[in-house]
Amino acid sequence: MFNKPNRRVDRVFIHCSASDHANHDNVATMDRWHRERGWSGVGYHLFIRKDGTLEAGRDLERAPAAQSGHNRGSIAICLHGLKLEKFTTAQFDTLKSLSVQINNAYSGAVTFHGHREVAAKACPVFEYKDVLALNEFGQLGLTGANTKPLIAATSSTDSNNMPVLRRGDRGSAVAQLQRLLMIKDDGIFGPKSDAEVRDFQTTQGLVRDGVVGKNTWAALIANDRVVHDGG
């Protein structure tokens, strides 16, 4: 659940991802988009999928890279979506529950805003002020009484949803694999990636076949979680 970072926070910004494509419904895609723009990975701290699942993005201890000129002292939340009618009740429920948790963590000394309040953008496209019952100052009008428990994604990568990869493959899933292997994420499964995969498989007691299937993905994700938890 929400853990207050050590840095000062007094504002929360709400965003939408500007896509309704199912393949973009995850932090890994946001991460790739930001990297492609030359930025240091995903700019949002929290991402809410169409099914309401909450996914962790950027480390909360770091300022977001989401609202130009207004990143410091803020937390950035992004809901997957572009068209107003495609946002889901599950997403809004998660946004409400998350916002109540954040608000409680700061004893109400935090205000909630749409990205569009500080930029000439339509983001977010939905009526976040209504969803969060905000007053004119951006103070939250909700309490825990009308919110549901949050469902957190177990990892930014779900081994059940990842494609089987092998040498010669290309694309965002390969880049995600490379990030998990902690090698250059150019999205091209070449000899270097192949060697790294085989070495990883050996260390994990898996079949050293260079094919990244469900078991290898699961081991990579588990390994990633340990590394990050330790750090």
Active site residues: 15, 44, 115, 121, 123
> Could you tell me which stretch among 117-125, 142-150, 164-172, 187-195 binds Zn ion (CB under 5 A)?
117-125
By C-beta, is 76 or 177 nearer to Zn ion?
76
> Could you tell me which stretch among 91-99, 112-120, 188-196, 206-214 binds Zn ion (CB under 5 A)?
112-120
Q: Considering the complex, what minimum distance in angstroms separates the CB of residue 227 from Zn ion?
A: 30
> Could you tell me which stretch among 45-53, 111-119, 149-157, 160-168 binds Zn ion (CB under 5 A)?
111-119
> Could you tell me which stretch among 15-23, 30-38, 125-133, 172-180 binds Zn ion (CB under 5 A)?
15-23
Q: CA 56 to CA 26: how far, in whole Å? A: 10
Alpha helices by DSSP H, 72-152: 89-105, 128-131
Q: Considering the complex, what minimum distance in angstroms separates the CB of residue 5 from Zn ion?
A: 20
Q: Considering the complex, what minimum distance in angstroms separates the CB of residue 196 from Zn ion?
A: 35
**Any residues with CB less than 8 A from the CB of 229 and at least 6 apart, and which?**
none
Q: Are 60 and 43 in contact (CB under 8 A)?
A: no
Packing angle, helices 191-203 and 172-181, rounded to 10: 50
Figure out which of the listed residues 49, 115, 140, 156 binds Zn ion, where binding follows CB under 5 A: 115
Q: Is 80 in the site for Zn ion (CB under 5 A)?
A: no
Q: CA 30 to CA 27: how far, in whole Å? A: 5
**Residues 118 to 177 in contact with Zn ion, rule: CB under 5 A:** 123
Q: Is 12 in the site for Zn ion (CB under 5 A)?
A: no
By C-beta, is 79 or 221 nearer to Zn ion?
79
Helix (H, G, I), strand (E, B) or coil at 209: coil
Token reading at 157: 């990568």
Q: Are 58 and 64 in contact (CB under 8 A)?
A: yes
Query: What does DSSP say about strands 74-79 and 54-56: parallel, antiparallel, or unpaired?
Result: unpaired
Q: Considering the complex, what minimum distance in angstroms separates the CB of residue 23 from Zn ion?
A: 20
Q: CA 49 to CA 66: how far, in whole Å? A: 18
By C-beta, is 111 or 204 nearer to Zn ion?
111
Strands of 70-217, DSSP E:
74-79, 111-114
Site residues for Zn ion per CB under 5 A: 15, 115, 123
